[in-house]
A and B are shown apart, each in its own frame.
Chain A
């Protein structure tokens, strides 16, 4: 009996290469970068749904701005420049805290949370995006306030004040996110804010001069380094917030 001969067409090297890269691309999806993730989320949800409470947010910012301006204009002209720096450092994150606590922490306690948490884009992913914007908005607001302050108090160095404010905001934001992710209970963030005020106000209260001197005598490059490190940490923590669900889930 004659053996039947089979002709097998083997793929060429280039075909094999193409197939391998296809399998790899389908099987191993590249993790998205933080920015591309945010961009994709913005494209899908748009401003309308990312900031569905935009009116309330703007109202809160307006109110915070008005209170701060009132505070600035009420300051006595005889106030020490050093004291102004300690005010800037302590109060720079206030608006960020107000926005985050009113519009993010509240979202975690609402009845809508369960449904929103089971969607493709869940509460924490939205929170990461919104927090980034809140910190930028707070930064802009702080810049405006510092410019106003510098008109009233000529002795203030705008760049030093800006650096101090941005460093304070970024350090606070990192600590805030840490409290949100790691501490049990939603009120941990409020404890965080209270602790921030105590830690900054208490030394100023005990020895205004020493605290202000410390803040104003730290060289600008140190603030610069602190600022860069905190921004890196902040973005990293925000990235973690996107995937955050806690050890036991969310409830």
Chain B
């Protein structure tokens, strides 16, 4: 079990995160927040790349900084900007990282072969990575994070550059892995985590706003989300009155999905809120959402 207790992180005068308290068991955790909210700072603290200014992070009761290499041996990490050596092939790069992770060469060779198949890169296993697309590089990154069969898998924006098919494949892979390990997935793409995360963590104003299941989080705006048809010349007025969550043009009309606490009108069709609605409600239009919650 990984516990984040009263963690605050300051960079000089700037407060990036304050009083963060979290508990992770086996399963997928989606860390969902807009860019700049402090996701990467939290991730870097979980990987010991940054140290908390105050508070502690403990794995099975032991401080992860004091655990040092014993902790690093059990984590897999994919950073937001995954670096690689252009003249290396996926096989040689993964074997190099396997050595750094303390994996015996014989075990590493078999593991690399297996992982390259898993991420569908076995056909280019010995090709230099300088010719790879962004998605292929990202898949090498995912493979390296799993090299040591980590107890804690930490992925920062892992689906960047992946096509829809690869995203589905990746989500299935994570669901499978999360049966016996902690998987922490940081993203600002709601669909990456909505279907697979056991719990979603949302950060706002440097603090944890929610840490709950998707359905419980969506329950917070239950009964406030509607869809309705709006005439074209009415759309501007509608947008300024309500928090619009999505818009769709169909058969010459505008279909608006929106959120309001006003009493429902007859032409409004109540719909079940999804995580994207919550995300937009919380982050995208701060002024309006603050007014509406007041």
Contacts and interface: CB of A to CB of B under 8 A. Distances in A.
B51 A247 contact: yes
Contacts of A46: 99
A251 B68 CA distance: 17
Interface residues of B, number: 30
Interface residues of A, number: 26
Interface string A114-131: 111111111000100000
Contacts of A116: 97, 100
Nearest to B45: A249
Interface stretch (B76-84, B209-217, B230-238, B251-259): B76-84
A250 B53 CA distance: 13
A112 to B, nearest CB: 4
A199 interface: no
Interface in B43-76: 44-45, 47-51, 53, 68-69, 72-73, 75
Interface in A199-251: 243, 245, 247-251
Contacts, number: 79
A119 B49 contact: no
B102 interface: yes
B51 A111 contact: no
A115 B144 contact: yes
Contacts of A45: 99-100
Given A44-B102, A118-B75, A121-B100, A113 B69 contact: no
A113 B83 CA distance: 7
A49 interface: yes
A248 to B, nearest CB: 6
A110 interface: yes
A114 B49 contact: yes
Interface string B246-284: 000000000000000000000000000000000000000
19 contacts: A49-B96, A110-B83, A113-B83, A114-B77, A114-B81, A116-B97, A116-B100, A118-B48, A119-B72, A119-B102, A120-B73, A121-B99, A121-B100, A243-B68, A245-B51, A249-B45, A249-B50, A249-B51, A251-B49
In order of increasing CB-CB distance, the 4 nearest A-B pairs are A111-B83, A249-B50, A112-B83, A119-B100
